[in-house]
């Protein structure tokens, strides 16, 4: 995407929003004085830093980023570019002391940890060796909740990633008629996305043909794609850290009556889901919209997974769009709608779009045609 100017992201606005949440970030909405951020994805979100090692202490009075010598220049440059004001400490051996002194320096008595990102061993070490004076408390999903609402720059990156994936499929789609193996077609799709400017695929590309299509997350094999196969493609691109996610199901040759019915049902369920997406809709309600259509055709048991998920810096992030999803959609959320039907004797069909929730509905970011012929 080197020749495309993407709208800027409001990285600097994120820490102030996080600081506002600290007074209720602990268990039972107890206050924490500061937060130790250990998830590198969350550190990237808050600061723009993309290195592979860092710790971030967040406090109302300031930010402390601790990383190692490999990232001395990069950390300074990336935080400056993002407009994030932080003290950066470079330490190879003394991270424990540096972080401890930072926490003490901010006067933090109650330090929140990211419970979903800290191992048991790490928590033990923090409690007994790093922060003996501070009370450590678990926090859950505080930054992940902030990440649910994307700003214009984030949406631009996801849209760019989706556009690359659309174009890649358009460029090589007819190759499915030339009897490639699943692995060969997957590799060509990945290469084409890279050639068009993607950093990488946003996850391991799924090419599931014929009977393999009945396994929702089949990995590509050396199976040759033949006439009579439904081919489930599930793939996405990564652009500036942001993911896209799309499934299309392509029929090679003439569909049987049952395959035609599967394609019709999933198409109808997916469209019903897309049409329903708007602010205020519950994630579980959205799941039910798609599930009810499939249920109506008697295939409730053939829809083996949730309807969708949030997409952003992670390929799967909040909100969860499934029967137990407790989130409520809001403008700026980016979610997938991806119902499927999987029948061992006939293969699988899944159709998935990545959508951004707008003020009065949604806008699909994945625009590849849903026509089924190769």
| Choices 34-42, 319-327, 331-339, 355-363 (CB under 5 A): range interacting with Zn ion | 331-339
**Residue 336 contacts Zn ion per CB under 5 A:** yes
Q: Is there binding between residue 245 and Zn ion (CB under 5 A)?
A: yes
Stretch that binds Zn ion, among 72-80, 85-93, 145-153, 347-355 (CB under 5 A): 347-355
Smallest gap from Cβ 166 to Zn ion, in A, equals: 14
Residue number, 110 or 271, with CB nearest to Zn ion: 271
User: Is 202 a residue that touches Zn ion (CB under 5 A)?
Assistant: no
Structure tokens at 342: 């999987």
* Ramachandran region, residue 210 (left: φ > 0; alpha: ψ -120 to 50; beta: rest): left
Q: Measured from the CB of residue 348, what is the shortest distance to Zn ion in angstroms?
A: 13
Size of the site for Zn ion (CB under 5 A): 4
Which string of DSSP letters, residue by residue, matches 234-254?
EE-EEETTEE--EEEEEE-SP
Alpha-helical (H) ranges within 132-256 are: 142-147, 152-172, 182-196
Strands (DSSP E) found in 192-329:
200-201, 206-209, 230-235, 237-239, 242-243, 246-251, 308-310, 317-321
- For the segment 210-239, give every residue that binds Zn ion (CB under 5 A): 234
- Least distance CB 38 / Zn ion (angstroms): 26
Window contacting Zn ion (CB under 5 A); options: 49-57, 96-104, 187-195, 240-248: 240-248
Shortest distance in whole angstroms from residue 218 CB to Zn ion: 13
Q: Residues 258, 346: contact at Cβ < 8 Å?
A: yes
Q: How far is the CB of 309 from Zn ion (least distance, A)?
A: 6
Q: Which two tokens stand for residue 194?
A: 């890279």
- Within the chain, how many helices (H) and strands (E) appear? 10, 19
Q: Does 307 bind Zn ion (CB under 5 A)?
A: no
Residue 180: alpha-carbon gap to chain centroid: 29
Residues within window 52-71 making contact with Zn ion, judged by CB under 5 A: none
Helix (H) or strand (E) holding 67: strand 62-67
Q: Does 317 bind Zn ion (CB under 5 A)?
A: no
User: Coil, helix or strand for 306?
Assistant: coil
Exposure of 370 in the CB half-sphere (CA atoms within 13 A):
17
Q: Is 314 in the site for Zn ion (CB under 5 A)?
A: no
| Residue 233 near residue 374, CB atoms below 8 Å | no
Choose the stretch contacting Zn ion; rule: CB under 5 A; options: 72-80, 256-264, 324-332, 346-354.
346-354
With CB under 5 A as the contact rule, which of the stretches 1-9, 86-94, 102-110, 336-344 interacts with Zn ion?
336-344
Q: Which residues bind Zn ion (CB under 5 A)?
A: 234, 245, 336, 352
């Amino acid at each position: 995407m080197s020749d495309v100017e993407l709208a800027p992201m409001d990285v600097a606005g994120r820490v102030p929003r996080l600081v506002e949440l600290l007074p209720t970030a602990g268990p039972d909405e107890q206050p924490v004085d500061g937060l130790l951020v250990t998830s590198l994805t969350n550190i990237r979100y808050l600061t723009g830093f993309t290195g592979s090692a860092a710790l971030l202490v967040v406090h109302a009075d300031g930010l402390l980023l601790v990383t190692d010598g490999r990232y001395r220049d990069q950390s300074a440059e990336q935080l400056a570019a993002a407009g994030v004001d932080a003290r950066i400490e470079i330490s190879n051996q003394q991270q424990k002391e540096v972080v401890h002194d930072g926490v003490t320096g901010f006067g933090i008595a109650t330090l929140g940890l990211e419970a979903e990102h800290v191992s048991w061993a790490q928590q033990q070490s923090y409690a007994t060796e790093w922060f003996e004076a501070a009370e450590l408390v678990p926090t859950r999903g505080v930054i992940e909740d902030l990440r649910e609402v994307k700003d214009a720059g984030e949406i631009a990156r996801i849209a760019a990633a989706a556009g690359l994936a659309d174009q890649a499929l358009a460029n090589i789609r007819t190759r499915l008629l030339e009897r490639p193996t699943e692995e060969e077609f997957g590799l060509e799709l990945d290469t084409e996305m890279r050639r068009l400017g993607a950093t990488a695929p946003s996850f391991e590309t799924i090419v599931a043909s014929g009977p393999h299509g009945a396994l929702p997350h089949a990995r590509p094999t050396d199976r040759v794609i033949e006439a009579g196969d439904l081919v489930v493609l599930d793939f996405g691109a990564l652009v500036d850290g942001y993911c896209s996610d799309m499934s299309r199901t392509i029929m090679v040759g003439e569909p049987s009556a049952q395959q035609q019915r599967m394609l019709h049902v999933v198409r109808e369920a997916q469209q019903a889901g897309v049409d329903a997406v708007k602010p205020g809709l519950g994630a579980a309600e959205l799941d039910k919209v798609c599930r009810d259509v499939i249920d109506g055709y008697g295939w409730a048991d053939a829809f083996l997974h949730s309807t969708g998920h949030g997409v952003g810096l992670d390929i799967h992030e909040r909100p969860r769009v499934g029967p137990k999803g407790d989130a409520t959609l809001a403008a700026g959320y980016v979610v997938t709608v991806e119902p499927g039907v999987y029948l061992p004797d006939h293969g699988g069909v899944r159709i998935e779009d990545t959508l951004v929730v707008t003020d009065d509905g949604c806008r699909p970011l994945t625009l590849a045609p849903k026509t089924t012929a190769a």
